[in-house]
Amino acid sequence: MANSTFKLATWNINSVRLRIGIVEQFLKDHEPDVLCLQEIKCQNDQFPQKAFDALGYTYSAVHGQKGYHGVATVSKQPLNEIASTDYVGMGDTRHVKCLVDTKVGPLHVHNFYVPAGSDEADPVKNPKFDHKLKFLDEMKELTSDIDGAPSILVGDLNIAPLENDVWSHKKLLKVVSHTPIETDGLNDVMRSGDWRDLIRKHIPEDEKIFTWWSYRAKDWDAADKGRRLDHVWSSPKIADNLSDIMVLREARGWEKPSDHVPVMATFKF
């Protein structure tokens, strides 16, 4: 079989209808096979499918809700076995999975939007933080190898697990997204499911890398107080097929940007 390349991107878009213009530009410039979006903030029938159809992304798995949350996976290749799990039984639309029909066989893709957890890192005082920790506990049941087919897990996991995934490890240790209880929880999800962190497989752990910069910063680029909240994981069996990871930092400076930037993984088979 000839060599085959597969590209998958993930992006918390923070309202797909508001930012469809920059999504279209990204797809034209980079042409991933699959794009996983989080925080689409629309119901299924409001999803701008026509814009994706025009660019060749005619297959979609959309799990939205009014005004909040929501995830969507669009693809140039057929999507099968579309389903979602209601983690913690809250009724939020934070997960969609599908089986992508690639040139080298079926590939399971999980698209997640893990709860942010609000500002106080105390599950007793803060129900949203308690929800986040319970969400992580339930994610531990997810394995990276399903019926022999490899899997990819992507999305805004709202946790920066390593010291160089945040602008200051010392200053953020008590800040939600980098507290030890969260980072330990995320590492447990990775271990129990036998997942591989592909961003850190490609970019060494001693190098800082961010995918999110707050809207509160007047000059996000100069201040560079970012966090790596967006992730790409895979089964061990395809981790070695990874040829590139691209974090599109410049997207944070585009017109009407999301506070997250796209991350794209390229595999060669």
Count Cα atoms within 13 angstroms, Cβ side, for 70.
Answer: 21
Per-domain residue ranges of the chain: 5-268
- Residue 1, pLDDT > 50, answer no
What pLDDT is stored for residue 103 in this prediction?
84
**23 phi/psi in degrees, rounded to 5:** -65, -45
The rounded distance, in Å, linking the Cα atoms of 183 and 196 is: 15
**12 phi/psi in degrees, rounded to 5:** -80, 110
Angle 176-182-183 (CA atoms, 0-180°, nearest 5)? 110
CATH code matching the domain that covers 5-268, chosen among 3.40.1390.10, 3.60.10.10, 2.60.120.10, 3.40.50.12780: 3.60.10.10
- Residue 195, pLDDT > 80, answer yes
Average pLDDT over residues 165-172: 98
**71 phi/psi in degrees, rounded to 5:** -135, 150
Average pLDDT over residues 137-152: 92
Which residues, 6 or more positions from 155, have their beta carbon under 8 angstroms from its beta carbon?
Answer: 10, 12, 36, 38, 71, 110, 111, 112, 113, 114, 230, 231
pLDDT band at 2 (very low <50, low <70, confident <90, very high): low
Average pLDDT over residues 244-260: 97
- C-alpha closest to that of 268 among 45, 36, 7: 7
What pLDDT is stored for residue 148 in this prediction?
82
pLDDT band at 176 (very low <50, low <70, confident <90, very high): very high
Q: Which residues pair with 37 in a beta bridge?
A: 11, 72
- Residue 6, pLDDT > 70, answer yes
The rounded distance, in Å, linking the Cα atoms of 195 and 239 is: 9
What pLDDT is stored for residue 104 in this prediction?
82
What pLDDT is stored for residue 91 in this prediction?
93
Q: Which residues pair with 199 in a beta bridge?
A: none
Count Cα atoms within 13 angstroms, Cβ side, for 168.
Answer: 8
Average pLDDT over residues 17-27: 98
- Say if CB 36 and CB 16 are below 8 A apart: no
Pairing assessment for the beta strands 34-38 and 5-12 based on DSSP bridges:
parallel
What pLDDT is stored for residue 41 in this prediction?
98
The rounded distance, in Å, linking the Cα atoms of 71 and 11 is: 10
Count Cα atoms within 13 angstroms, Cβ side, for 121.
Answer: 13
What pLDDT is stored for residue 222 in this prediction?
96
